[in-house]
Amino acid sequence: MQVACSNDLILDSRRAAWLPKTGTLVLADLFLGLGAARRRKPDLYPSTHQELWERLLSLLDDLKPAEVALLGDIKPAQGMVEGEEREELRQLFKKLGSGGRKVIQVVGHPDRAQGPALKDTGVTPVEQHRVGAFTLMHRRRIFVYPRQEPGVLWINGGVHPLFAVPSQDPQGQADWMRVPAFLATGYALILPPFVPWAQGFEVMQPERLPKQAKAWSLLAERLTPLDLPNLPPPPQHLAALVRVPKRAGTKEE
């Protein structure tokens, strides 16, 4: 399912943004190279490896992009490659770059520019990438009111929007549900992660967003517009999620 924000910005329910004028496919936090490690820890991380590949291949086959932009690390901090991951990464970049397709990686910090996960990929990460009327970035702190550039829209993969929406439990009683979403603030488009379990902690408060903000929830491969002005305030336990403290010396994207 697709939603057109403009004639050159299309949201795809496969967790991607499509820029048809330049033939650019944009994905945030692909993390496909984590497949081998995640499969060894099924109690902690549900296995979605096959589903990720199917979704990625369907995007490449259907859209036939000339360029794929990956926002975020291939692995956290482009770090260690374990077991089968080296072969998985090799296959990933072979497929991404097939037919001469250009592959761009945008990271949040220059110290993420190298690491074991990028060895032999031929990809040199950048901090920003300009494509047509868009600037691609992967930052946590700059997402609602980025630095203004006339005629330029930011596309950011560093924040994973969540909205709390009224729902019902299996017994039909009133309940709440957190749903991932695409968020367009008028200044920037904020992407959900390509990997579902990378869901973030940014439960959005509609009253804190610009009046022109729009959002589309992503559930069961459907994009549904959210009525932000009339979305009721979520309960406190959903409005204030706690982020796990980072280890000393690490940086926030």
pLDDT digits (tens, 9 = 90+) for 150-203: 677 889 988 888 888 887 777 777 777 888 889 998 888 999 988 776 666 667
In whole angstroms, how large is the CA radius of gyration of the chain? 18
Nearest-angstrom CA–CA distance, 238 and 235? 6
Query: Phi first, then psi: what are they for 239, rounded to 5°?
Result: -80, -20
CA–CA distance from 205 to each of 56, 110, 165, 229 (Å)? 31, 31, 11, 10
Tokens of 122: 């031929």
Q: Residues 43-58, buried b or exposed e (16+ Cβ, 10 A)?
A: eeeeebbeebbebbee
Quick one: which of 31, 27, 7 has its CA closest to 67? Answer: 27
Given a cut of 50, is residue 252 above it in pLDDT? Answer: no
Binning pLDDT at 50, 70 and 90, where does residue 108 land?
Answer: confident
- Give the mean pLDDT of 115-134: 76
Tokens of 234: 């979520």
Q: Give DSSP secondary structure letters for 182-223.
A: EEE-SSEEEPPPSSGGG--SEE--GGGS-TT-EEEEEETTEE
Tokens of 98: 């097939």
The residue ranking higher by pLDDT, 221 or 86, is 221
What sign for the dihedral angle of Cα 6, 149, 180, 70? positive
Which segment of 52-61, 90-99, 114-123, 223-232 scores lowest on mean pLDDT? Answer: 114-123
Nearest-angstrom CA–CA distance, 14 and 2? 9
Domain boundaries, the chain: 2-239
Which segment of 140-144, 202-206, 220-224 scores lowest on mean pLDDT? Answer: 140-144
Q: What is the pLDDT of residues 22-51, one digit of tens each?
A: 999 999 988 765 555 555 555 555 556 677
Nearest-angstrom CA–CA distance, 205 and 98? 41
Q: Give DSSP secondary structure letters for 96-147.
A: HTGGG-EEEEE-SSGGGS--GGGTTS----BS-EEETTEEEE--SS-SSSPP
Query: What integer pLDDT is reported at residue 232 of this predicted model?
Result: 83
Given a cut of 50, is residue 130 above it in pLDDT? Answer: yes
Distance of CA 71 to the CA centre of its chain: 7
Q: What is the pLDDT of residues 61-105, one digit of tens each?
A: 999 999 999 998 776 655 566 666 777 777 777 887 888 888 888
- Give the mean pLDDT of 211-223: 87
Query: What integer pLDDT is reported at residue 199 of this predicted model?
Result: 65
Query: What integer pLDDT is reported at residue 157 of this predicted model?
Result: 86
